[in-house]
Chain A
Amino acid sequence: MFFTKKKKIPRDPAIEHLAGIVGEKSILYKKEDLLSYDCDGFTIHKAVPKAVVFPKDTAEVAAVVKYCSAHKMPFLARGAGTGLSGGAIPLNGEVIISLVKMKNLLSVDFENRQAVVQPGFVNLKLTNSIADKGYYYAPDPSSQYVCTIGGNVAENAGGAHCLKYGVTTNHILGLEVVLPDGEIIEISENGLPDAPGYDLLGLLTGSEGTLGIVTKITVRILKNPEGKQTVLAYFDDVEDGSQAVSDIISAGIVPAALEMMDKTAIEGVEAGTYPVGHPDDIEALLLIEVDGIIAGIAEQIEEIMNVCRRWNVREVKVAESEEERGRWWANRKTGFGAMGAISPDYLVQDGVIPRSKLPEVLGNIRKISEESELRIANIFHAGDGNLHPLILFDSRKPGETEKALKAGSDCLKACADAGGSITGEHGVGIEKIEEMRFIFTEGELEAQTNVRDVFNPDGLLNSGKLFPTPSRCMDVKKVM
């Protein structure tokens, strides 16, 4: 389209119809408007949608889906677009159903510890809305100030405090879902435990928007812990830091969070927006939080400090104020973005390993970095073995993007080979489709696509995500 004419050209009948459902102000269909929807937080792959609609309620979502389904037009849901694996990218020129206008907190029931939200409600807003009464919503992805709870459900998002409190799936009590044919279903409408039948709540959570569109969510809310203390420990040796992680866990302590950063990551966060003055010559730091009944915290903190000392910590300290604690966390939670300060581009990876394999896998990642000649920073949830290698590259240099992708894939291979998984919280999307073969056999993939086909028989909803197509057979791993 090289010219734009002032004269009103007749619109595509599909656009006409969709505009009729959601209203003229709630649809984008002009090329220039669609460009900002050509990718999500995974920016390496791009595709332009047919249109973006912004329904204001479940009925409109259902009407859009029914229309798309009847006309065999592909569609997908989108929250804030912070997904890091490309789940919201319209590979097939989908109609994007953006849930950002469905952003209300519908109700809070403190006595029964539940809240009901619309899918476009931003994660952090929930905690902020109930904080005055001393409650919070536990899953805390680092993107929580923008990402939506609908997107969290789709990705089964985690966060730093999931070590003790669990990930999104452990906090979802009920869902309203628009199925790919437009039918609206309510699973455990009142947020009750053990809904009869197969556990569809569990299945839908983490299904990356391929089984249905979530339009209402009942979540568990928790009472704030009575007390919290946060420890920062600097190590001269990554191995020592890893051993300290293991020993803290074996001591029978369940920290609320146990995070680690390596030297390159520290260089990044110190150059970023929230530096806290970490020394520039340490090899690793641990950020450890213990919460619960105040009377029990001091002895656990003491034990953690002792473990760190046993592993030759250079310096270990407890946050002295809420302000200091807040600064340490801001520094950690903005870690990904901070890489922008030391590299033109970066790719976030998301492998998981058994905790005991930490030193071995970090060693392998170091080798991958040397071989690819790309710097790799590691920021991760050490307590649950969820690594986030950040591969630093420059897309302007020819071939470097490909090299970064390859290095990312190699990191996942290293995790899979250590008995781990290729993703702990960011999802497969389009990014890790081929890597699914590192951990699943053809039969195991088929068991999953069989389930997808029950919900999404025509493959109109978010197709081309999660599962490699059988024809592109690579080395298929056998069941051991």
Chain B
Amino acid sequence: MVDHLRRIQIQEITLKGVDIVELNEVGGGQLVLSEKYGNTGLSVVTPKSEEEIEQILRTANEEGKKISVMGRGTKRGYGGVKQEYDLVLSLANYKGIIEHIVGDMTVTVRPGTTIAGLQEYLKKYGQMVSIDPSWPEEATIGGVIAANESGPKRLKYGAARDLVIGLRVVYADGSVIRTGGKVVKNVAGYDMNKLFIGSMGTLGVISEITMKLRPLPKFESLVLLSIDEDRLEELKAFTVKLQDSMIEPVSLELVNPSLSKKLLDREEYTLLIAFEDVEKAVRYQEEWVAANKPDAAILSNLSSDESREFWKGFSVIQPNALKENEPADHVLATVKISSKNMQVFDILEEVRRLKQGNKAELDAHGGLGHGLSFIILKGPEESVTSTIASLRVFVRTKQGFTTIKHLPFELRKKIDTWHDNPSYFFLFEGIKRKADPKNTLNYKRFIGGI
């Protein structure tokens, strides 16, 4: 794959004291920026301090250079219609925990810290960051927050916007601001944290993140309910009943048959019902599910260890721009759909319809408690793009939002990966203009070419 690599040019900007590295050297040889996903650069810088970030941005901004901001680059397939920027700024080496106040249950970290690294550290204190995004070993906390990632446990945990209590952000001109604070409740001034969460690195570089923590669950389990493809209605009726009961699942994720086959070797619709609580409460809820499940559904209970193992496997089902193992003539794509909770059923049924005679594989799952569905497509380019188009049309009829989270660069030039601009798009433009007037950061990476 070496021929895919973009060779580095020696920089025009002189950056004293800043590492300028070969692309494939970043993070111990893990970061390989293939051209396939775009968002590359003529050179990569991996600052190790906030001052270095400031210096890089200030210089680039003054000289009119364009910067692609990156964590480790798992999401280089997410948005962007520029093959190459002047510079890739990777936060992968700016990592580590700055402050953890155990009693306050807050932690402050540098953006390059991986999710897995952070969780591992917090575990010793019986705490966790309540977020379960994909690829935890590689995804950096900065990237997860900038891309507003969440996982199947969002139902109970909330999203990145619900955990971040403070940020430090370096603006394109090199100035630094703090947003929020270090306390769990705070309404002083605008809630500026929200502006940067999910902004895809277009407004500033996040250089420090403070989050509130939760205690590790005392006990957890996962109940699987699988049902024949033609009996989805029964699972739906069960879900309505569960949602109207006082049962408190942490996750209520519906998985389509092909994905269920890969994860569990059961080619049926499978509902993942996760519980986290004290053991008695978990057991009671497992019993409730057993007593109320559709007769036709097969039930299995995974223990705490088994369920953790399962979620690990689940966290790597989506494509990742750092991994390229698909055959050359195949395209991988991820579509994210926002809908009302129960419309997840409609979306998965539409996926079933679209699978008929489709040359592409369609794996899908959706959260019945939060309304986000993900469809992973794999197959010949033509089938993938036409399926995406059909999905889009369908989602429009349901007034939902579609975002294509992963797609090779060549296709991103043809298909807009973002949802249509809202009527208030001018506000986005205004916000971008104030924060980054020279379009230095992640130019054209985000919705509407922001």
Give me the interface of A with B, judged by CB distance under 8 Å.
Answer: 109-114, 134, 155-156, 158, 162, 166-167, 169-170, 179, 185-187, 189-203, 205-207, 223-226, 246, 249-250, 252-254, 292-296, 299-300, 352-356, 381, 384-386, 419-428, 432, 436, 439-441, 443-445, 447-448, 450-455, 466-467, 479
Contacts and interface: CB of A to CB of B under 8 A. Distances in A.
A198 B215 contact: no
Contact of B190 (A162, A207, A424): A207
Nearest to B277: A296
Contacts of B418: 196
A113 B186 CA distance: 26
Contact of B422 (A197, A295, A428): A197
A197 B428 contact: yes
B380 interface: no
Contacts of B285: 293
A203 B431 CA distance: 11
B93 to A, nearest CB: 23
Considering residues B424, B435, B448, which has the most beta carbons from chain A within 10 angstroms of its beta carbon?
Answer: B424
B394 to A, nearest CB: 15
B178 A444 contact: yes
A169 B165 CA distance: 13
B195 interface: yes
A435 to B, nearest CB: 8
Interface in B291-344: 336, 338-342
Given A424-B183, A440-B189, 12 more contacts: A193-B371, A199-B197, A200-B427, A203-B194, A226-B246, A254-B214, A352-B184, A354-B101, A441-B177, A444-B179, A453-B434, A466-B190
Given A166-B158, A197-B422, A252-B215, A202 B186 contact: no
B1 interface: no
A352 B175 CA distance: 27
B191 A479 contact: no
A201 B203 CA distance: 17
Contacts of A186: 423
B406 to A, nearest CB: 16
B283 interface: yes
Contact of B246 (A192, A224, A455): A224
Nearest to B341: A112
**What is the predominant secondary structure among interface residues of chain B facing chain A?**
loop
B183 A423 contact: no
A374 B103 CA distance: 32
Interface stretch (B62-70, B351-359, B384-392, B396-404): B396-404
A196 B434 contact: no
A79 B176 CA distance: 36
Contacts of A225: 246, 248
A2 B215 CA distance: 66
Considering residues A158, A193, A207, which has the most beta carbons from chain B within 10 angstroms of its beta carbon?
Answer: A193
Interface residues of B, number: 85
A194 B188 contact: no
Given A206-B190, A254-B214, A479-B176, A451 B244 contact: no
Nearest to A189: B399
A465 to B, nearest CB: 11
B48 interface: no
B411 interface: no
Contacts of B158: 166, 170
A356 B106 CA distance: 11
Considering residues A296, A300, A432, A452, which has the most beta carbons from chain B within 10 angstroms of its beta carbon?
Answer: A296
Contacts of B248: 225, 292-293
17 contacts: A192-B399, A197-B421, A197-B447, A199-B197, A203-B195, A207-B191, A250-B103, A253-B215, A254-B215, A293-B277, A299-B278, A352-B186, A385-B184, A427-B187, A439-B181, A445-B189, A454-B430
B104 A354 contact: yes
Contacts of A187: 422, 424
B16 interface: no
B427 A421 contact: no
